[in-house]
């Protein structure tokens, strides 16, 4: 770990000059992993973002394959060794000739960025307690949180086939909607389309079926974090979610940022995890000293919108809301991993967890329009005079995330962005 810590040294700089710019998401202390290709006829390559460039790891002779899921499955010590090799070749005073690295660099703007890995399974959790409370109040004012919430990291199985990388548009979903005071539902495009501000957790090494992952080992099975937008059709959801939970209201599209920020890069931004006074403490299998001391991650988050009218007028994105992973989450990444496997469920490299909507404690920190508009009762007025209750066709939503604190170099997650297109006829 001492060698790994050298890759996080705040004074470290890269000969890739854009990595040294103030505010860069991808300084040499970050080195997030993703996939790219120079044209649509070639296979995906494994890359690491550095400044405004991407380093082809195979071309730089750091690996001998192009299988990202093989990278995810590496043992922790091998993963750390690869990070050190990448950092050593990119740092300003690189001890070896870096011509091989120079020839393996591509402008991010000149290549196609893909999904960061092949996702076999996707589970969406519900760890955002402020979101769960706010939504619960809309439907159950006297009892917003169900009795199991503070004991069980709630989750449901999602649909990996409709996960899209940032930049991919999607059509408005259609489904059954039950209008109040009517006897039968109708079929129509969703009129209450919403975003959800989430963190994605990418699984590294898996586990065998029947072998739970102990809380002390849980983070060894996590490769890193991404930004994640789990789009939701609230009107379809309201009609279908009882008794078995979300279905068509969730499985039509989810958007993932293209870069996986590794656990190693996040280590300077760990925080204490503790429950407020009076809250029930996790059961023993969900509790460990390390998780209590540093199980939370200080990731700052924001959601921005650009409507079609704003785009045509040349107006930039504007902020809708902001939050923080630590403030929002009632359960940690390690607890999600352990609970998911405690019954013997196996995880595989590349599996994805969604955190659930990460709303902050203040009303203006809500991670969805459902909360920001009080269930659709209070419209949001944008700077150009437009109003929004839920999303309209042509609206683009961007998620951003970053970590920064005194004594460490700021790192970012890149963008997670998508545009809502009109519904398609059946």
Residue 349 — pLDDT band, cuts 50, 70, 90? Answer: very high
Q: Is the pLDDT of residue 21 over 70?
A: yes
3-state DSSP of 166-213 = CCCCEECCEEEECCCCCCCCEEEECCCEECCEEEEEEECCCCCCCCCC
Mean pLDDT, rounded, for 159-181: 95
Residues 239, 185: contact at Cβ < 8 Å? yes
Cα distances (Å, whole numbers) of residue 411 to 5, 14, 71, 183, 399: 15, 14, 21, 53, 15
Please spell the DSSP secondary structure of 235-260, one letter per residue.
HHHHHH-TTT--STTTTT-EEE-S-B
Contacts of residue 385, Cβ cutoff 8 Å, sequence gap at least 6: none
pLDDT in tens, 28-40: 999 999 999 999 9
Whole-number pLDDT of residue 345: 98
Residue 250 — pLDDT band, cuts 50, 70, 90? Answer: very high
Cα distances (Å, whole numbers) of residue 278 to 146, 226, 358: 17, 32, 22
Whole-number pLDDT of residue 205: 96
Structure-token pair, residue 281: 């403490």
Whole-number pLDDT of residue 1: 55
pLDDT in tens, 229-241: 999 999 999 999 8
Q: Is the pLDDT of residue 82 over 60?
A: yes
Mean pLDDT, rounded, for 358-368: 97
Q: Is the pLDDT of residue 95 over 70?
A: no
Residues 250, 161: contact at Cβ < 8 Å? no
Residue 3 — pLDDT band, cuts 50, 70, 90? Answer: low
Q: What does the buried/exposed string (b/e) look like for 126-152 if buried means 16 or more CB atoms within 10 Å of the residue's CB?
A: bbbbbbbbbbbbeeeeeeeeeeebbee
Q: Is the pLDDT of residue 119 over 90?
A: yes
Domains (range + CATH), the chain: 2-113 (2.30.30.230), 122-421 (3.90.850.10)
Q: Which of 139-143, 154-158, 407-411 has the lowest mean pLDDT?
A: 139-143
Tell me how far apart the alpha carbons of residues 237 and 243 are, in angstroms, rounded to a whole number.
11
Q: Is the pLDDT of residue 144 over 60?
A: yes
Nearest in space to 368 (alpha carbons), one of 421, 414, 328, 308: 328
Whole-number pLDDT of residue 142: 82
Q: Which of 132-136, 379-383, 406-410, 412-416 has the lowest mean pLDDT?
A: 132-136
Tell me how far apart the alpha carbons of residues 301 and 321 are, in angstroms, rounded to a whole number.
9
SS3 5: helix
Mean pLDDT, rounded, for 400-417: 97
Catalytic site positions: 131
pTM of the model: 0.96
Residue 125 — pLDDT band, cuts 50, 70, 90? Answer: very high
Whole-number pLDDT of residue 93: 84
Q: Is the pLDDT of residue 224 over 70?
A: yes
């Amino acid at each position: 770990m001492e060698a790994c810590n050298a890759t996080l040294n705040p004074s470290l700089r890269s000969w890739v000059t854009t990595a040294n710019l103030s505010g860069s998401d991808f300084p040499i202390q970050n080195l997030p992993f993703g996939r790219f290709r120079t044209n649509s006829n070639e296979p995906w390559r494994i890359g690491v973002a550095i400044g405004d460039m991407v380093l082809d790891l195979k071309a730089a002779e750091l690996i001998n394959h192009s299988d990202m899921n093989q990278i995810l499955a590496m043992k922790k010590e091998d993963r750390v060794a690869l990070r050190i090799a990448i950092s050593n070749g990119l740092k300003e005073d690189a001890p070896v000739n870096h011509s091989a690295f120079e020839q393996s660099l591509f402008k991010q703007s000149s290549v196609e960025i893909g999904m960061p890995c092949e996702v076999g399974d996707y589970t969406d959790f519900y760890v955002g307690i402020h979101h769960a409370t706010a939504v619960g109040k809309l439907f159950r004012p006297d009892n917003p949180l169900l009795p199991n919430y503070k004991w069980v990291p709630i989750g449901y199985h999602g649909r990996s086939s409709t996960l899209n990388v940032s930049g991919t548009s999607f059509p408005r979903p259609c489904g059954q909607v039950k209008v109040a005071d009517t006897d039968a539902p109708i079929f129509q495009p969703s009129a209450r389309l919403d975003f959800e501000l989430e963190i994605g957790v990418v699984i590294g090494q898996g586990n065998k079926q029947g072998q739970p992952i102990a809380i002390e080992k849980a983070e060894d099975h996590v490769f890193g974090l991404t930004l994640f937008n789990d789009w939701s059709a609230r009107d379809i959801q309201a009609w279908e979610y009882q008794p078995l939970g979300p279905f068509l209201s969730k499985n039509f599209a989810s958007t993932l940022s293209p870069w996986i920020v590794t656990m190693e890069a996040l280590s300077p931004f760990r925080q204490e995890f503790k429950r407020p006074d009076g809250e029930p403490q996790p059961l023993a299998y969900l509790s460990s000293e390390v998780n209590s001391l540093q199980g939370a991650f200080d990731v700052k988050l924001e959601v921005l919108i650009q409507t079609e009218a704003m785009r045509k007028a040349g107006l930039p994105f504007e902020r809708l809301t902001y939050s923080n992973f630590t403030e929002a989450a009632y359960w940690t990444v390690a607890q999600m991993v352990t609970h998911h496997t405690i019954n013997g469920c196996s995880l595989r490299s590349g599996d994805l967890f969604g955190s659930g909507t990460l709303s902050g404690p203040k009303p203006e920190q809500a991670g969805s329009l459902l909360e920001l508009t009080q269930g659709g009762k209070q419209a949001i007025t944008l700077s150009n005079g437009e109003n929004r209750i839920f999303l309209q066709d042509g609206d683009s939503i961007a998620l951003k995330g970053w970590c920064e604190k005194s004594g460490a170099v700021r790192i970012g997650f890149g963008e997670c962005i998508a545009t809502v297109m009109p519904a398609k006829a059946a």
